[in-house]
Amino acid sequence: MDKKATWDRFYTESSSRTSTFKHFEWFFSFDAVRDFIMPLLQTKSHPDAPLQVLDIGCGTSAVGPCIYRHSPLPVRVTCVDISHIAVRLMQEHVRAKAVQPHNLSSQLEFVEPDCAQLHKCFSPSTVDLIVDKGTTDALLRSKEGTGKACLVLKQCLKVLRSSGSLLQFSDEDPDARLLWLETVVREQGVLAADVQVQEVGELRGISYYCYQVTPRPHSRG
């Protein structure tokens, strides 16, 4: 699940099963997590600029478009996925549906870089919120993806503002995920970030969690 070709095949096959576009949601949809996301978008970090939001490994999820649609403050939502099939499907869908934002200054875009190379597209300390629904889980579950998951987390810490947050939605148990997050964060620099967990809820007998990583100022690696 760390290979672009696997995901290209996945999105090609799931889109060929229906004649009209349908979002594919890993774990759950925006409604299950909106109360974790939207409160973090209530204060402008810069008076003249929109809040910068990333959905990393967005796939064909509606999370990015929903943030764009519902945020009262202007947001620039960048949905990033390594699969050009997912990116193309989403670009075509939002164009066809002409999704309207709550705030007319908001922007929505879909781009294709590898999240392990966010620094090529985003300057350090410029992003207010990063959402990761299932992407780190997919990387951590493949043998060769563990190193990439560490790189992705370190890149997120680099591009996040000190007032920003990374939210990872996951079904991984806190005993394992907190240890992994704290270890990678420590590698980035002593006390580089705070890590917290909240339970999202239980669905079909599985517990889901929201891991929130908040950088601390002056500790970037």
Ligand X SMILES: C[S@@+](CC[C@H](N)C(=O)[O-])C[C@H]1O[C@@H](n2cnc3c(N)ncnc32)[C@H](O)[C@@H]1O
Where on the chain is the footprint of ligand X (CB under 6 A)? 2, 7, 24-26, 57-59, 61, 80-83, 86, 114-116, 133-135, 138-139, 148
Q: What is the DSSP letter of 57?
A: T
* Token pair 């670009």: residue: 91
Rounded Cα distance between 29 and 144, Å, is 28
Q: Where are the beta strands (DSSP E) in 81-205?
A: 107-111, 127-133, 160-170, 193-203
Kindly list the distances between the CA atom of residue 84 and the CA atoms of 109, 112, 114, 194, in Å, as whole numbers in the listed order.
13, 6, 11, 33
Widest distance between CA atoms in the chain: 51
| Token pair in block for residue 84 | 């050009």
Please provide the size of the chain in residues.
221
| Token pair in block for residue 70 | 């519902």
CA atoms within a 13 Å half-sphere pointing along the CA-CB vector of 137? 18
Kindly state the smallest distance separating residue 32's Cβ from ligand X, in Å.
11
Kindly state the smallest distance separating residue 133's Cβ from ligand X, in Å.
4
Neighbours of 181 (CB within 10 A): 22
* Token pair 């996951």: residue: 170
Kindly state the smallest distance separating residue 9's Cβ from ligand X, in Å.
10
Kindly state the smallest distance separating residue 27's Cβ from ligand X, in Å.
6
Considering beta carbons, is residue 150 or 185 the nearer one to ligand X? 150
Considering beta carbons, is residue 74 or 83 the nearer one to ligand X? 83
Kindly state the smallest distance separating residue 11's Cβ from ligand X, in Å.
7
Kindly state the smallest distance separating residue 221's Cβ from ligand X, in Å.
20
Q: What is the DSSP letter of 178?
A: H
